[in-house]
Structure formats: C-alpha cells, structure tokens
C-alpha cells in the first residue's frame, strides 16, 4: 500500500465510545497509576494500565487516533474498498493536521506518543455490558519505513488495534469534532469538550447537565475531588470551549455543569448571529445573595471576598449577571480553601 496523504473534505472525527469514559491520562506528566472505572449500574468497566517505562497514553496522544479515525472516515465517504487496519502516513502531515510543530523535537514527541499508545493496556466491557471484557492496546504496532535506495524515512506505518478499528468502522461510531479542539491546552478542557460533543451535540437549546462528582468519576483524573471541582469551576468561568457553552447549576448538594451547543442557543432566540453580550445593569451583588452566601459558607469571609470580586469581576458576569457570577466566585474560593487545607 502506498503512503496515504489525506485531504479531509469531511471534519475531523472522534470515536464515540471513547469520548466520555476514562481511557486516557489528563496530565502531561508521566502517569503510572492505573485507571479503574465502573459505571454506577455496573455494566461498563474500564481498566487502563501503563508501563513504568513509557507511562499511560495521554489525551494529547489520542489526537493521533483522531487523525487515523478521520483518515478512515474519509475513505468510507469515498467508498474505498478494503479499508486497511494499517495506515501509512506522513509524520509531517500528521503533526501539522493536529496543530503540532513539525520539527526534530516534534518528531521525537510523536514517537514517544506512539510508544505510549502501543504500550498502554486497556481492558473494557464497553461493547459487551458486564458479561465480557476485551483487552487491547491502542496500537498493535508502529514503525518507521525506510527508503531502501536513499536510507531516508518514507513515513510511518501505524497498525490500529482491532477494537479501535472496529469502533471506527461501525455504523454511527464516529462524531465530527471542531478543528479548534486541537488548540485546547488543558487536559480537563479537552476531556470536557469530548463530553459536551458526545451528549450536547444534538440536545438542542436545553443542553445536557451532569453533576461534578459524576464527571470526576468518568474522567479518571488523579488527585482529590475538591481539586478537580475547583479546576472545573475555573474552566466554566472561562467558558471557552469551541462550539459549546458551559454553565453552573447550583443544587443543595454538588453543582451541575450544563453543556449547551452555542448554535442551538442562537437558534433558540431566533438569531442568525451570536447575540452581543453586555454587562447587566446591576452594578453590585444583591443583599439576598450576600445573605445566602454568609449562611451557606459561614467559614469564609464573604465581605472580604465581595470586595475582591468587585475589584475584578469574572468574565461570566456578562452572561449570568452579578448574583450568579458572585455565587460561582464564592464556590471557587471555597474549593480553593479546601484544597489548601
């Protein structure tokens, strides 16, 4: 087979089953601790093990799988017969496509990512309920192919695992993703985008809400829940995921995050362009909200935090108004104080 130079007429695609379960490390530092996840109903298990030498495959390494899935999807759209499980691709094109630097260092990092994908072991029942588990690595193998005449590299051959290949080939196994996904720096933000795309892509203006503890379990993130919660609140305040809006919904227990497709919000108000956001008329937090925060968080110095908030109100004030933005600000302050203890 000749080396494939893709021309993506269709969007980049992600494998649907991998978009919300904890299959990858969300940190750039080497992770050796395994991921051990069981869904609340006991039907879905995911166990991911890393080797000490390479560490666990990361969510940035998964960009290579997205690239390969997108090549296969392009072949399917063009009705190519006998789509191969082994893809021969140009490292330069791969790196440029996923918004990486195509340099000597870039090729070294690519090789390290391929090693992690090949060495990381996954055991999951995601396609068989609780009856059977399948064990695989993301890649069966990969190698650099050398031109026999010149001795120079002709590219790389990537053999996908049968589990991943079958998932890409199955009907409805892929979801298109925004090219802006590759510009997302943080591992938690990348994972949240995949959750949003999986659940809120067709949910309309109501979106999809999920509790933070559930997100924590599904993420497989290392560390304690309160730190994870603090970081997710900060991500929600920034509200910068491509294509999806994030909102906090307060409950008597743990808060929810609601994911809503931005275009669905625009359609819901009958506009063809995104509405301009302007700060609300209220210039301060209401007395009722101040009282509620004092009751809810008696251990925090609410008045001092209010002064701090008013000196530099969060960007979410243009969307939510001061009352909701201040509640979010206090929730973050509380999470930070818990993390520091």
- Is the confidence at residue 175, as pLDDT, over 70? yes
Burial classification of residue 22, based on how many CB atoms lie within 10 Å of its CB (0-12 exposed, 13-18 middle, 19 or more buried): buried
Query: Sign (positive/negative) of CA torsion 285, 290, 293, 297?
Result: positive
- pLDDT category at 7 given cuts 50, 70, 90 is low
**In Å, what is the CA distance from 253 to each residue of 64, 102, 233, 256, 292?**
39, 47, 15, 9, 15
Nearest 5°: phi and psi at 147? -70, 120
pLDDT by residue (tens digit) across 39-60? 988 889 999 999 999 999 999 9
What pLDDT is stored for residue 158 in this prediction? Answer: 97
| Residue count (the chain) | 341
Q: Which two tokens stand for residue 168?
A: 């890409």
Q: Is pLDDT at 3 greater than 50 in this prediction? A: yes
Rounded to whole angstroms, how far apart are CA atoms 7 and 75? 10
pLDDT winner (highest mean) among 91-95, 128-132, 147-151: 91-95
Confidence of residue 138 (pLDDT cuts 50, 70, 90): very high
Segment 209-230 mean pLDDT: 93
Mean pLDDT of the chain: 86
Range picked from 73-77, 190-194, 262-266, 290-294 for highest mean pLDDT: 190-194
Give dist(CA 35, CA 33) in Å, integer. 7
Better pLDDT: 184 or 268: 184
pLDDT of residue 280: 47
Residue 336 has pLDDT above 70, yes or no: no
Looking at the predicted structure, is the pLDDT value of residue 166 above 70?
yes
Region 64-88: mean pLDDT is 93
332-338 contact pairs (CB < 8 A, 24+): 332/230, 332/233, 332/234, 332/237, 333/300, 333/305, 334/297, 334/300, 335/226, 335/227, 335/229, 335/230, 335/233, 336/230, 337/299, 337/300, 338/226, 338/230
**Residue indicated by tokens 């669905």:** 264
pLDDT greater than 70 at residue 246: yes
% of the chain at pLDDT higher than 90? 52
pLDDT in tens, 263-295: 876 655 454 444 444 444 445 888 888 888 888
Task: Look at the pTM and tell me if it is higher than 0.75.
Answer: yes
Is 70 exceeded by the pLDDT of residue 210? Answer: yes
Instruction: Report the pLDDT value the prediction gives residue 270, as an integer from 0 to 100.
Output: 52
């Amino acid at each position: 087979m000749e080396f494939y130079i893709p021309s993506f007429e269709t969007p980049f695609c992600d494998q649907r089953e991998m978009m919300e379960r904890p299959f990858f490390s969300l940190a750039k530092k080497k992770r050796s601790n395994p991921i051990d996840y069981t869904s609340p109903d006991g039907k879905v298990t995911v166990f991911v093990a890393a080797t000490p030498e390479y560490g666990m495959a990361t969510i940035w390494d998964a960009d290579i799988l997205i690239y390969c899935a997108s090549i296969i999807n392009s072949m399917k759209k063009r009705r190519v017969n006998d789509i191969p499980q082994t893809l021969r691709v140009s490292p330069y094109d791969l790196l440029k496509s996923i918004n990486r630097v195509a340099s000597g260092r870039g090729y070294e990092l690519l090789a390290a990512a391929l090693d992690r994908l090949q060495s990381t072991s996954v055991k999951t029942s995601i396609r068989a309920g609780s009856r059977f588990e399948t064990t695989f690595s993301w890649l069966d193998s990969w190698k650099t192919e050398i031109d026999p005449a010149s001795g120079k590299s002709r590219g790389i051959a990537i053999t996908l695992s049968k589990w991943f290949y079958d998932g890409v080939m199955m009907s409805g196994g892929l979801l298109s993703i925004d090219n802006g996904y590759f510009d997302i720096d943080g591992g938690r933000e990348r994972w949240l985008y995949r959750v949003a795309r999986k659940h809120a892509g067709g949910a309309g203006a109501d979106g999809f809400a999920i509790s933070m503890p559930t997100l924590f379990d599904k993420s497989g993130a290392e560390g304690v829940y309160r730190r994870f919660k603090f970081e997710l609140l900060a991500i929600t305040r920034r509200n910068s995921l491509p294509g999806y809006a994030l909102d906090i919904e307060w409950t008597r227990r743990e808060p929810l995050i609601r994911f809503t497709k931005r275009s669905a919000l625009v359609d819901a108000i009958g506009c063809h362009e995104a509405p301009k956001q302007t700060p609300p008329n209220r210039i301060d937090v209401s007395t009722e909200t101040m009282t509620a925060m004092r009751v809810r968080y008696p251990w925090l110095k609410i008045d001092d935090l209010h002064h701090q908030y008013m000196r530099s109100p969060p960007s979410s004030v243009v969307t939510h108004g001061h009352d909701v933005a201040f509640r979010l600000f206090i929730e973050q302050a509380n999470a930070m104080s818990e993390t520091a203890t």
